[in-house]
Chain A
Amino acid sequence: MPARRSPRRLPIFRPGAGARRWLLFFAGFACVAAADAAATGPGGAPLLPGLGAWCLALGWLWGPAWLVAAVGAGAATILLGLAGPPLAAWPALGAFALGALVLRMRAVAPPVRWNGRGVVEGGCVATLAAFLGALPFAFSADTVGAALDPVTGALAWLYPVAGVYRLAEPRGFPAPPRNRWGWPTRAADLGVLGLCVFAAAALGGFAADGGWPLIGAALAVLVAALNANLVGGAAAALAAGLAGGFAEAGAAPFALELGNAVLVAVGLVAGGFVSRARERQEDAEHTVGRTRALLDSLPIGLVEIDERGVIVQANPMAGAIIGCAAEELLGHPFERLGTLAAREMLAATTRAIRHRRQPEPSFTTEFLYRPDRTTRAVQVDWVYQTPPGGRRPLRVTALITDVTDRRRALKALEDREHRLAERSDLLRITMDALDHGLAAFSADDSLTEWNARFPEMLHLPSPLARPGTPAIAIFRFLATLGAFGVGVTEGQVRARMDRLIHPPNADDVPWIGGHHLRFSAHTMADGGWVWRIEDRTEDIRLRDIEQNRQKMEALGQLASGVAHELNNTLQPIFSLSELGLAQAEPESLTARCFARITDAAERAETIVRGVLTFARNAPVPEADAPIVPALFDAVAFIRPGLPSQVRLEVAVDDGIPEGATARLDRRELGQVLTNLVTNAADAMDHQGTIRIDCRAERLRYADAADAEDSRPAVAVAVVDTGKGMDPALKHRIFEPFFTTKDEGHGTGLGLAVAFGIVRNWGGRIDVDSEPGLGSTFTVWIPLSDPEREGDHGHDSHR
């Protein structure tokens, strides 16, 4: 099948060229009228005006070709009339017309073409019409024919007038309602139509001399129009014509009148069909035009491929995508459009089309080759035109969408999402790596983001650590944990929430489990806020240790100074009391007095010695002592002195290195342990079990920056189950002369002396205690480490 091409037409016959059509109409009419006038002459029959008008009307309705044919037929009739007896020509004309009719009927409702065949067909039909119109004339006398003129004239004028109406009819969207014949159904439109019909009748009637038939015919056509039924209208016109004919002529042969009436009816019916066909064609052309405009304006490229794989049609967008004018694409094999990589895929499809196989229903994206050597990413979808009857597709339409920009945008979007995800991950990792608890809340106080430490520090269960959890719910939970005390009300919870979210100053808040937390909040631009929780427990512990160390140092300096002065003062007391005792009579009162003075001075000397032990900076022993045997020796020394109801258990952990040594004095170790165990026995009211746990542990100094700054040590813990201590007591327990024992039961120097000794070792002593749960005094004895000897700055000032 050849490519569908739009037929070439003269510009003047394009649809919508109304003014030109009218020009043509009047030109044709003028020709016919002139021919009629020339043919009739003084005695001529008035048939020709009617005949010419008929031809003209048919031609106008059936298209420009028919119009020309009608003019040609009118001219032929005139020539025949001029030639003399017309009857001889009619059979030949009739045969020609019949043949044309057969030709016409063979082509089922195709659009009329401005081509040779169309002209021949139009001429044939026009000739048939002329023959039928002339038939009654052939059988009648001149006078009888004249009597029929009003009817035929009126009917002949009907179509031109109706044409006027159709040009003047209201247009617009939506179109006015019509019946299935294309006639208007609204009363106003029908009224206009009736006026047109009457005008036609008047024109036809006044051209002749009839009165009655004119009115009857007009009414009949009006009725037909009102009934929207041309066949009914034709019947009415037939009756009117008959009546008019009888009334007018009376003497006219009945057969003639009948023939004329039949002619009128046939003309009406044929006109109706023709009109319908004409409208269909116009609609179809209009639809095609609109569709074409639509396709041309589509942002999708359309390429139609025939069964050889050759492009037979392309819209402008297809050309724009491929990079050339749409017309340039025609006749090229479709696969040539693809890049080398894509060509095989396209070729596979065109091969499938060539072999009438069913190819893939849809197609993936491909790159098309462009003359400027660039490539475009396109998506090709296939539409198969399957003719009715289920035959295999003959043609394929490729829908080509340029997705280059879309892809680029998609890629950019993906990249941005990727980067966003990366940054989000980084933020998440950073947040989780923080030692602080962080939580973000939206402006309506609901949880949006948080790090791992946040629920951990607040002991939040997982149902609360969810996006959208209201802040107040978290605080209610904390209240149930007892974070705000016992039996707090909702109002108190809210007040605490406000204070913890917006703390007036950076205070460390005592928290559950002996922790100290510091809260702060930062408001964000959108009204949300970030809550920061810092665990200050370790900082506070280190700070306390440092404060304690400073306090002990100050106390030591004070005690040292006092002890020195006291020793100086004790010197004369000793010297003179002993001298006095030596001079006095033995057993005399004087001798006893000097002896008591000496005793008192000795007691004072003991106290001063203890104070100096606490305060002094004694030189470190030069030799290392094996730590574990020294411990056992010390315990063996202590054990006999303990009350009988006190048991002493010693446990040495395996983790202590074999043969570990420490730079210490065995007597001092004995003194430290004695002081600790004696205190423990006192705290337990001299009954129960005291445990001494020895284990390997790293010694970390209070002011150490991190865990690296520590050294191997043995931790000796003296654990009792006694009364225990509150924190205030704990803070002062190592101060000299601080004692909880009754007057006369201790000097308050035992722990101070132990503190001083351990400090001189470079070790640490600390206490962990809860009221009622007993106390644990732990002594960290640093192990000797020849490699590190001398490079540890802590030795010098501890």
Chain B
Amino acid sequence: MATILIVDDNLLACEAISLVLESAGYAVRQAHRVAEAVEAVAKSCPDLAIVDLSMPDGNGVDLIRTLHQGHPQLPIILYSGFFTPEDDAEKRANQMPGVVAVFKKPLRNNDLIAAIGRALGPAAASGGVAPKA
């Protein structure tokens, strides 16, 4: 079972995405600060990280760079409330090392799970609730 780290200072959003991912069959760990996130990655070696751009104790971009330097193989999904639909999300994602997908808040469950599936492979999840089409 793949482990996914969610880094978001917004507890409600963090909790909600955890529920969605757990129901999809992933093991989920949460971090609400940059420091927590670095510590969690070092300790539990997650298979994938979902990172919010804004943090109370640091920049999400710097965090992504740190994570990528420590774990170059770690795929990262970036999401933020600052993005707007017209922005070229793909381009931003490509500009950052290790980022496999970029979403704006609010992101939809199907999009998220599809992106995780692309990053980890379909076998990574186990026992989860299959999302409805």
- Chain A residues with a Cβ under 8 A of chain B: 563-565, 567-576, 578-579, 581-583, 601, 605, 609, 612-613, 616, 618-619, 665, 667-668
Contacts and interface: CB of A to CB of B under 8 A. Distances in A.
Interface residues of B, number: 25
A572 B129 contact: no
Nearest to B12: A572
A583 B131 CA distance: 9
Interface in B104-118: 104-110
Contact of A571 (B16, B82, B110, B132): B16
B84 A581 contact: no
12 contacts: A565-B81, A567-B104, A570-B105, A571-B10, A571-B16, A571-B105, A572-B12, A572-B17, A576-B19, A579-B16, A579-B23, A613-B86
A623 to B, nearest CB: 13
A575 B19 contact: yes
B106 A570 contact: yes
Contacts of A579: 16, 19-20, 23, 109
Given A567-B105, A572-B17, A578-B109, 13 more contacts: A567-B81, A575-B20, A575-B106, A576-B16, A578-B20, A578-B110, A579-B23, A582-B132, A583-B23, A601-B106, A613-B86, A616-B84, A618-B87
Interface of B: 10, 12-13, 15-17, 19-20, 23, 81-82, 84-87, 104-110, 129, 131-132
Given A583-B23, A583-B129, A613-B84, A568 B10 contact: yes
A572 B107 contact: no
A709 B104 CA distance: 39
Contact of B106 (A605, A613, A616): A605
A572 B20 CA distance: 10
Closest 3 CB pairs of A and B: A572-B16, A567-B81, A575-B16
A569 B129 contact: no
A621 to B, nearest CB: 10
Contacts of A618: 84, 86-87
A650 to B, nearest CB: 26
Contacts of A619: 87
Contacts of A667: 86
Which residue, of A564, A568, A609, A668, has the highest number of chain B Cβ atoms within 10 A? A568
Given A571-B17, A575-B109, A576-B19, A564 B82 contact: yes
Contact of B129 (A582, A613, A616): A582
Given A568-B10, A568-B13, A618-B84, A574 B129 contact: no
B131 A573 contact: no
A568 B81 CA distance: 6
Contacts of B85: 609
Contacts of A573: 106
Contact of A581 (B12, B13, B86, B132): B132
A574 B84 contact: no
Contacts of B16: 571-572, 575-576, 579
Contacts of B131: 582
A265 to B, nearest CB: 152
B15 A572 contact: yes
B106 A571 contact: yes
B34 to A, nearest CB: 17
B29 to A, nearest CB: 17
A663 to B, nearest CB: 15
Contacts of A613: 84, 86
B42 to A, nearest CB: 27
Which residue, of B15, B23, B132, has the highest number of chain A Cβ atoms within 10 A? B132
A612 B80 CA distance: 13
Contacts of B109: 574-575, 578-579, 582
B17 A575 contact: yes
Contacts of B105: 567-568, 570-571
A568 B106 CA distance: 7
A709 B15 CA distance: 54
Nearest to A757: B86
Contacts of A609: 84-85
